[in-house]
Structure 1
Amino acid sequence: MLKPTTSSHDQSRSSSEDVAESFPHLVFVQNKCTPGDFSPENVAAMSQTLDAIFTKSKLKYKGHISMDASMALGKEKQHQGPNLFLLPKRLSEQEEKRRSEGDAVPGYQDGGRLEQLASLLTLQVGSMPKQHITHTPLTEKNWFHYSARLWDAMQKSMVFMEYSRLLP
């Protein structure tokens, strides 16, 4: 979505807060996880690593996504760890067939875990707070005006002109 540049009407806010407003929320999703990746020690180690990497960053990487199912149900007030979510490896058709016949597949005894976790992740991402694009209501007419100005600015940029020149 195009975000127009607007001045803040609230003079008490500092410029660093205005800049931080435009940063996206990061969600780290690790897929194809083995059963060992779900151990509390490994999840804690991943969280500590992400905290160490993003300590001085202004990116929003904490607070909304968690492997804890109670987060999705609203039982916990605020999760303070990084937005980290793990998804297990999808089983092959042969492994699914063996599971449905009753033969246990080592390490994957819980049947619909991928589907449950994927729906939990979808629920949590969908319930993340949404920020307004502007401080005033944005109508279709205003959005079109901002997008036209942005397109004109992009056409005048050196990168776009160079890219257009290289196209056949």
Structure 2
Amino acid sequence: MGATADSTGGSGVPAPAPPPKILLAKPGRGRGGGSIVKIGRGDEEPYARSRLPPGSLSFVSDSWEVHPDRLLPFMSDNSEFTVIGIIGPPGVGKSTILNELYGYDSSTTGMLPPFPIETEETRTMARHCTVGIELRVTSERLILLDTQPVFSPSVLAEMMRPDGSSAVTVLTGESLSAEMAHELMNIQLGVFLASICNVLLVVSEGLDDVKMWHLMLTVDLLKQGIPDPSMMPSAIGHPQGPSPAQEKEERENFQERSVEFMADLVFIHSKLRDQELCPNNITLLRQMLSQYFDTSSFRTEGSEPLRTKSEDETKMHNDSLEAETRKSEQNGLVKNLFFLPCKVHEDSQKGQYESYSSMLGKLRDQVLTMRGRPFGKPMSERDWLRNSARIWEKVKKSPVIADYSKLLLNSGMFRK
């Protein structure tokens, strides 16, 4: 076909292709639908870490502040929604998992994934893709929260001033070293997500890394005085939040109700080698996980056994796994444990229990069919957003986390 005036701009030279769009929220169906919108960074305060990508839809910014107002256009008065968050170290596939839950089709031309994924360039430069917390909403009213990596050297490097202090105010009114602030950042992310999500995906790399388990136990220990977002009194008419008298009444009412909310945890171990995906290893990991969280406040349920590469092996391994799973269920062991193998080229002849894409699809199906921990009472998406922003401020002002930071400083683990 010959070039038209529209495609050449009348000069005979083909016009450049339009830049790809970034999918922030799917078009809605009926009430409470989302939209496809590009949002710029607006008036965010620039400093060392400010490198949010174009089209960023930031809930918690790189300056560790919440921006609920810019997200309100994506929210509705619908009360039938599910919040799914994710947390984990760098490079474990967090954004890829959320893109799968979102329903993003990588074969779609001219459309970038809703959550940016690690590229060869970011790996080479030892950087990370997500800063703070990024939010997307699907047409099925899933609110997906992607977080910056925990235990990340690149996050630490970007927030560190030349004198070693933190460029980010993590605890309200306190100046901390970058190392201490980075440690508290990880805890605050965990406490916040456990407080506002119905389901929280906890991703680790390999079978042996249990740092994320330890982090979630710390979250369980320090998540005190953080209310169920649906139980918070309305702040309507108080743009800056409730008055001191209302804050006191809120605390008293919260203590009287003894409301406790914790997201359902889903543990995901990614990048597993084929030899690691054997029934004995999986059973052992389930037992370890059960012992780790035996006395925690987290509630978990549901999972599925692994499948293998041939019919004979499938029967043999599944019979073994099912027997161990039944034993685990009788002993009350944790069941929300999923496994993702290493990625291999589709044309590779290397045998696998199952391909990465297939297992990722099964993980998606399992997570999307989970009910998750329900909030105490129904609330709209907009109320969830406003109350979550207030919860973030409570996390930053938490006296329990502040006392924990002092304990770490006194231990000599971090410089003052």
Answer whether TM exceeds 0.5 for this pair: yes
1:89 aligns with 2:342: yes
Q: Is 1:44 aligned to residue 283 of structure 2?
A: yes
Question: How far apart are the structure 2 equivalents of 1:56 and 1:158?
Answer: 26
Q: 1:126 to 1:40 in 2, by over 3 A?
A: same
**Alignment counterpart, residue 64 of structure 1, candidates 299, 302, 309:** 302
1:125 aligns with 2:367: yes
Q: Is the 8 A contact 2:262 2:373 kept in 1?
A: no
Give CA deviations for 1:93-124 in whole Å, capped at 9, x if unaligned.
5xx44x3xxxx33xx256x6211111111000
Superposition pairs of residues 152-167 of structure 1, within 5 angstroms: 154=393
Q: Which residue is 2:379 aligned to?
A: 138
Task: Name 2:264's counterpart in structure 1.
Answer: 25
Letter of the 1:84 partner, please give it.
L
Q: Calculate the TM-score normalised by the size of structure 1.
A: 0.57
Q: Structure 1 86/146 Cα, relative in aligned 2: closer, same or farther at 3 Å?
A: closer
In 2, Cα distance between the equivalents of 1:57 and 1:49? 14
Higher helix share: 1
Given that 2:264 and 2:298 are in contact with CA atoms closer than 8 Å, whether structure 1 keeps it comes out as yes
Which structure exhibits the higher relative contact order, with contacts defined as CA atoms closer than 8 Å and separated by 6 or more residues? 1
Rounded to whole Å, the distance in 2 between the matches of 1:57 and 1:132 is: 18
Q: What CA distance in whole angstroms lies between the structure 2 residues aligned with 1:147 and 1:86?
A: 30
**Alignment RMSD:** 3.8
Give me the whole-angstrom Cα distance separating, in 1, the residues matched to 2:361 and 2:281.
22
TM-score (norm. length: structure 2): 0.26
- The residue aligned with 2:230 is 4
Structure 1 segments of 4+ aligned residues over 6 angstroms from their partners:
none
Q: Which has the higher strand share?
A: 2
CA distance in 2, matches of 1:49, 1:140: 37
Q: Which runs of 5+ in 2 are unaligned?
A: 1-82, 84-195, 197-228, 234-256, 308-317, 319-327, 399-416
Gaps of at least 5 residues in structure 1 are 8-14, 71-78, 160-168
Percentage identity across paired residues of the two chains = 22
The number of residue pairs the alignment matches comes to 126
